[in-house]
Chains A and B, each alone.
Chain A
Amino acid sequence: MDIATHVFSALYQFGDAFAFLVLSACGLAVIFGMMGVINLAHGEFIMCGAYVTAATVHAGLPLPLGILAGTLVSALVGVVVELAVIRHLYDRPLDTIVATWGLSLIATQGTLIMVGSTMAGVGTPFGSFQVGDYSYSIYRIVLFCAALGVLAALYALFNWTRFGVLARATIQVPHMAAALGVDTRLIYSLTFACGAGLAGLAGGLYAPTMTLVPTMGATFIMEAFVTVVIGGADVFLGTAPAGGVLAVVKSAMTSWQGQLFGQIGLLVAVIIVVRVLPKGISGFVLRERT
């Protein structure tokens, strides 16, 4: 073992943690950053994406198309949820938490009843490669690239498209945007669908790497929440750097003491950061500008 393999191993673990944090958090962050709504059913959207991906792959579709299907179905479910529940609660953010929690209970238990306690998984594609004494999964590298790709796509979406401009206008001053003819309700619906779709994408991407059980959402949400709390309301200035910082904490703690301590490290980090920077990293960065 020389230094290069050590460095590669550390980088690989960092990339893995970063991808997991960013992918599981970005859907939540988009919804929270745009609408101030915390979606506690986030984990269940991830579960939905993973289940649909697995189902379509079992039906014979190739994995990328399956992931696409998972994303789209989650986004559609997101639209339905927004129309039926979230829309009526925009002026009561605490109640949105409670209502989405209720939805998450319904989704978890409903899936358990309809699909059963577990679903046949999808094999991890691409195999592995060897560096030094350890073998690494290629798919984890793909996931890291996917996380970067999602960040880039979101940046493009919110900065270079008409929808992005309208959405940012709606966040800044909703009634002004409405007065200028923006259909803010439609924007909110689309934003929620976008967040739900991102959750579905995360589920689809991670479907080949984990066991599919109705409570699988719970494995994502803690990391997602922690990243959003530390990042604050902005996806690019918050979620991405928060993912980076937390990935360092998590991968270091994990390789030192095991997975559980990685998570405890995350929790301690969030409590300390919240005490020092109550508005998260993006609040700290943007403090001069507001």
Chain B
Amino acid sequence: MRGFLSLFRHLEGPQTAGRGPAFWSLFSLVLVAACAYPLFSDGYTVGNTVYFFVWVFIALSLCLIWGYGGSLSFGQTAFFGIAGYGYGVLTINFGSAYGFTLVALVLAIAIAALFALLLGYFMFFGRIAGVFLGIVTLAVTLMLERFMAQTAGPEWHIGSARLNGFNGMSAMPPLTIPWPGEPLVLFADIGLYYVVLGLLVLVYLGLRILMNSAFGNVIVAIRENPERAEMLGYDIRKYQLITFVIGAALAGLSGVLYTVWGQYITPSSMGMTAAALPLIWVAVGGRSDLTSTLIGTLAVLAAFQALTIYGSQYALVFMGVLLVLTVLIAPNGLVLGTMNWLGRFAARFTQRAG
């Protein structure tokens, strides 16, 4: 019990922004608002919010690997796609009875994590780092997209699930929770909203605990100076590999939820543009902090959607400009910069008051 309680002490610490009663009361306020939100909104808007939430998981995974771990991975969309396709293949073959969709969710994430373990072994134990890591993961992602895009023929099937090439898979069953009487089918509105919101809170708090624990400190130490971390006796390859696999699992969760949300998955979800978007959210938000990544992702996604409605073609150009400007002017990210500024401001204010 004591050990369990001590976990909660790690909810705040040196690796995450936001601490003290002020932060947590704000957090609970936002959480209550998020829980109450479907009561004041219609099904379509709630479904759209679920869509935003789905992407936050992949952003958090990139934040973990890139922001905290210092290894730039373009492979997150590959794990996203693998898990999405995995869920599709499993549920189309085995149906959704007896809560199998939940098993499929876990299995699909496990497949993505396993793939990451294999790829990560070759990369981290080959001691490639920095730019090469980015290139290898990017090459893998593009390769997967090309491979899936050419699976149009009827000979490409796994069990009864056709892969359908560039059009992608569709019509897989939504998440279904077995329930006495009638099973609960989670379509992309209020039901799915609460499940995804619950997962999001769990993942967010879980990552906070992980990053403030001893493991997280080692990860940050490796980012700051790999040689020094190694001299202090840590096998950095193992730590990097574990981070990579956790990140892949999170990206996989994102992929499964995306597939569940829209009931389709296409190869272009692993393409160049798809791989660029999480990078933009994380970079603009502030890659070295979980909270700023979360806020930044939601903000950029909302802005991107608004832009797509008003000036569809220019939205991507704008995103590119945003990314370049962020890197040049605010390398730590806009949200994190603002948060730090607010923190300093608050500190000065309380000092003066005290």
Contacts and interface: CB of A to CB of B under 8 A. Distances in A.
Interface of A: 32, 36, 38, 85, 88-89, 92-95, 97-99, 101-106, 108-110, 112-113, 215, 218, 221-222, 225-226, 228-229, 260, 263-264, 267, 270-272, 274-276, 278
A267 B122 contact: no
Nearest to A94: B72
Q: Which 3 A/B pairs are nearest by Cβ-Cβ distance?
A: A102-B323, A105-B320, A106-B320
A101 B313 contact: no
Given A105-B273, A267-B140, A112 B126 contact: no
B201 interface: no
Given A225-B138, A278-B126, 8 more contacts: A94-B131, A98-B323, A99-B328, A105-B317, A108-B316, A222-B143, A271-B136, A278-B128
Tell me if B's interface is mostly helix, strand, loop or mixed.
Answer: helix
A264 B320 CA distance: 29
A93 B135 contact: no
B147 interface: yes
Interface string B226-268: 0000000000000000000000000000000000000000000
Given A89-B327, A271-B122, A38 B320 contact: no
Interface in B28-44: none
B134 A94 contact: yes
Contact of A99 (B128, B319, B324): B324
Contact of B319 (A36, A105, A113): A105
B320 A103 contact: yes
B150 A97 contact: no
Interface in B266-308: 272-273, 276, 279-280, 283
B161 interface: no
Contacts of B139: 222, 225-226, 229, 267, 270
Given A274-B132, A275-B125, A102 B314 contact: no
B127 A278 contact: yes
A98 B126 contact: no
Interface string B144-188: 001100100000000000000000000000000000000000000
A56 B127 CA distance: 46
Nearest to A260: B150
Contacts of B72: 94, 97-98
Interface centre among A36, A94, A98, A260 (most CB of B within 10 A): A98
Nearest to B143: A267
B339 interface: no
A88 B328 contact: yes
A83 to B, nearest CB: 12
